[in-house]
């Protein structure tokens, strides 16, 4: 079992490194004004315990937090910080993204296992954040724009702290919210 988990970790790391490599631009990229610069540019964090997960979702964490098992907390959690994923958009700007990955995948990016994250409350402060391919048990408080649920079940409510956070929220057809979705000021 340990060998299988180690193999999955190595495969995920290889996929992330290959997918995140970039060619050097022929000419220098334009300088981004300081106010538009992300707080941190990092790699992925693969976690299998509560302490590692809390560190990874913090302002000093990583852009992607990939769990290897179910995690449960009896306290409120906060996804904080602005991160880039190491890729550039068509205009050459860094792509801002933050992801909680509640799954493992094989070398062909097929989901191989799904996990559950349990906490009484999870506040989403990171822009362009998502929760993908698992289950969150608790209430979500969304304060950032463009939050997404991708193939995720929320067993609880989703509260938006701003009208903008609510209007830019998306979920795909495989995602489900068992509770209410409402603006709460």
For 121-167, what is each residue's pLDDT tens digit? 999 999 999 999 999 999 999 999 999 999 999 999 999 999 999 99
Question: CA-to-CA distance for 152 and 174, rounded, in angstroms?
Answer: 7
Question: CA-to-CA distance for 184 and 170, rounded, in angstroms?
Answer: 18
Cβ count within 10 A of residue 11: 16
Cα–chain center distance at 47: 13
Q: In the 8-state DSSP scheme, what is residue 35?
A: G
- What pLDDT does residue 61 have? 93
Are 133 and 152 in contact by the 8 Å Cβ rule? The answer is yes
Residues facing 77 on adjacent strands: 122
pLDDT digits (tens, 9 = 90+) for 18-64: 555 555 444 444 444 444 444 444 456 899 999 999 999 999 999 99
Question: CA-to-CA distance for 124 and 178, rounded, in angstroms?
Answer: 18
pLDDT digits (tens, 9 = 90+) for 74-95: 999 999 999 998 999 999 999 9
Tell me the Cα Rg of the chain: 17
Are 151 and 175 in contact by the 8 Å Cβ rule? The answer is yes
- Residue showing tokens 């801002």: 96
pLDDT at 68 over 90: yes
Are 101 and 112 in contact by the 8 Å Cβ rule? The answer is no
| pTM of the full structure | 0.76
List, in order, residues 6 or more apart from 141 with CB less than 8 Å away: 121, 122, 123, 124, 159, 161, 184
């Amino acid at each position: 079992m340990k060998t299988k988990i180690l193999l999955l970790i190595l495969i995920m790391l290889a996929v992330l490194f290959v997918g995140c490599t970039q060619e050097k631009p022929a000419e220098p990229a334009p300088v981004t004004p300081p106010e538009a610069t992300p707080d941190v540019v990092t790699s992925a964090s693969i976690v299998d315990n509560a302490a590692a997960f809390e560190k990874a979702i913090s302002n000093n964490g990583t852009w992607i937090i990939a769990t290897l098992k179910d995690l449960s907390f009896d306290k409120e959690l906060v996804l904080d910080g602005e991160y880039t994923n190491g890729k550039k958009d068509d205009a050459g700007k860094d792509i801002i993204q933050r992801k909680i990955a509640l799954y493992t995948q094989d070398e062909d990016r097929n989901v191989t296992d799904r996990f559950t994250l349990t906490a009484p409350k999870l506040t989403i402060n990171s822009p362009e954040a998502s929760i993908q391919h698992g289950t969150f048990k608790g209430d979500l408080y969304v304060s950032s724009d463009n939050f997404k649920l991708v193939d995720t079940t929320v067993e609880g409510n989703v509260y938006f702290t701003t009208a903008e956070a609510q209007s830019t929220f998306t979920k795909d057809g495989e995602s489900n919210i068992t509770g209410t979705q409402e603006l709460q000021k």
